[in-house]
Amino acid sequence: MSESLAPNNPGVREFEATVESVDGTDVVLSETYFYPEGGGQPADRGTLGDELVVDVQPTDGGVVHTLAEPPAFDAGDDVVGVVDDDFRTYCMRAHTASHVLYGAARRVLDGLGYGGFGISAAPTGRRDSDGADADIDADTDDGTGADSGGTAGDEKVRVDFTTTTDVDDDVFVELERLVNRAVWDARDVTWEELPVEEARGRDDVAFNTKTEEGVMSDADTVRVVSVDGWDWAACGGTHVSNTAEIGPVTLLDRSNPGEGMTRVEFAVGPAGIGRRAAVHGAALDAARELGVAVDDVPAEAARLRAERDDLADELGALREEVLAARLADCDAVDRDGLTWRVGVVDGFDANQVGDAAQRRVDDSADDVVAAVGGDDAPFVVVATDGDVDAGDVVDGLTDEFGGGGGGGPTFAQGGGLDADPSDVVAALRR
Ligand SMILES: [Zn+2]
């Protein structure tokens, strides 16, 4: 059983090896620098001989390279393997960034525990270590931003962890600041095999229970990856040798995927750069709209929101006054010794008119208030002091004009009447 040489030789992109076996499109080599899928890092792409490598998986029988077509070579032949440089380099930068993010989390989160990691990678449709959909395209563009748009697309990386700290906006932004500070500080990244007992005894080493099987399979030693002075983790993936190689890191989102986990998603490379430009642009747009400097946007937005709420309250009170005045302006009709206030009220909905009508009766301004509103299929509200049954009045109107409604002795309303509002008022006057 031969393991991939990639984790300890992450710079190798081309190598020669002897073919040990060919089974259809599955090829095992005497040695390989292809990284097989594992630990959240997707399998390398590339070529063996003239054939495309579409998958690489670790098996008990060694690392299996799956080709797009059965190869022309056979067991015993020597072949050249070429690891796709763009994709592998992207994976190394994204993967190492996850260690740096965890190191940042050590500094701001309480009760921290490691949960998992995954690089999404689209074209192969493979799934990452936790079975989440994997879809990341590590394309490299020309840097003009032509395809970076306003979103990060699918090119993202996730880190799951447990913590008792609420990752609110401030914590989220502080994590991003610390990650990029550690990148700027150009910390060396190294790896070494440690006896399992020693690694387990060090409480600064993060272990991932979901993905460490490969790391721990030998049981005698464990591979510990160190970001100098920043983070230590049991890990069998491929890494850059210095954090400066990672480039800018943009945090995209955080969520709670369940099992007490907190998930932070981030992007490196063009997707992250594009996302940051989009956010920067949005901040400047907001500042221009508000007429303030970008640093003053939060305070100005809060001030405008409070002002809007005050104005809404004031408008509501004024509309109530207008509605009360409209009802007071309606004709007073004497029916059986009771004063009915009857008329059309426009510009308000049935609930508003109903409330105003009840207030008028409660204030003993009238014995009955019957108001009609709305243009098509008008509504009617009836409020009384109890001498007239409001429900009976509405029932009489819906019998005559259609629509529906109902209510109790002191308040009732109907809607969807098939009549002009003035016809309904005329009926109420009778
Ligand atoms: Zn790693």
Residue 235 CA, ligand 1 centroid: distance in Å:
5
Residue 223 CA, ligand 1 centroid: distance in Å:
10
Residue 175 CA, ligand 1 centroid: distance in Å:
19
Mind listing the pLDDT tens digit for each residue in 47-56?
999 999 999 9
Residue 236 CA, ligand 1 centroid: distance in Å:
6
Distance, CA of 297 to CA of 283 (rounded, Å): 8
| Token pair of 270 as six digits | 């063009």
Residue 115 CA, ligand 1 centroid: distance in Å:
13
Read off the pLDDT of each residue in 5-22 and give the average, rounded to a whole number.
97
pLDDT exceeds cutoff 50 at 383: yes
Averaged pLDDT score across all residues of the chain: 89
pLDDT at residue number 1: 43
32: which DSSP letter?
-
Residue 20 CA, ligand 1 centroid: distance in Å:
29
pLDDT exceeds cutoff 80 at 24: yes
Residue 97 CA, ligand 1 centroid: distance in Å:
9
Rg of the Cα atoms in the chain: 36
- 364: confidence class by pLDDT, cuts 50, 70, 90: confident
Distance, CA of 270 to CA of 86 (rounded, Å): 12
pLDDT at residue number 109: 96
pLDDT at residue number 202: 87
Residue 356 CA, ligand 1 centroid: distance in Å:
68
Which residues, other chains included, contact 292 with Cβ-Cβ below 8 Å and sequence gap of 6+? 300
pLDDT exceeds cutoff 80 at 175: yes
Distance, CA of 21 to CA of 344 (rounded, Å): 91
Residue 40 CA, ligand 1 centroid: distance in Å:
9
Residue 226 CA, ligand 1 centroid: distance in Å:
9
Mind listing the pLDDT tens digit for each residue in 192-224?
999 988 888 888 888 865 544 444 555 688 999
Residue 98 CA, ligand 1 centroid: distance in Å:
8
Residue 275 CA, ligand 1 centroid: distance in Å:
24
Read off the pLDDT of each residue in 42-62 and give the average, rounded to a whole number.
95
Residue 117 CA, ligand 1 centroid: distance in Å:
9
pLDDT at residue number 210: 52
pLDDT exceeds cutoff 60 at 285: yes
Phi, psi angle pair for 67, to nearest 5°: -100, 160
Mind listing the pLDDT tens digit for each residue in 85-121?
999 999 999 999 999 999 999 999 999 999 989 998 6
Of 278, 302, 280, which Cα lies nearest the Cα of 290?
Answer: 302
**How far, CA to CA in Å, does 340 sit from each of 29, 300, 425?**
98, 51, 11
Other Cβ atoms closer than 10 A to 305: 10
pLDDT exceeds cutoff 90 at 394: yes
133 vs 237, more confident = 237
pLDDT exceeds cutoff 50 at 138: no
Residue 417 CA, ligand 1 centroid: distance in Å:
71
Mind listing the pLDDT tens digit for each residue in 307-362?
999 999 999 999 999 999 999 999 999 988 999 999 999 999 999 999 999 999 99
120 close to 156: Cβ distance less than 8 angstroms: yes
pLDDT at residue number 206: 87
Read off the pLDDT of each residue in 401-414 and give the average, rounded to a whole number.
94
Residue 216 CA, ligand 1 centroid: distance in Å:
14
Percentage of the chain surpassing pLDDT 90?
80
Residue 96 CA, ligand 1 centroid: distance in Å:
6
Residue 277 CA, ligand 1 centroid: distance in Å:
28
Residue 217 CA, ligand 1 centroid: distance in Å:
16
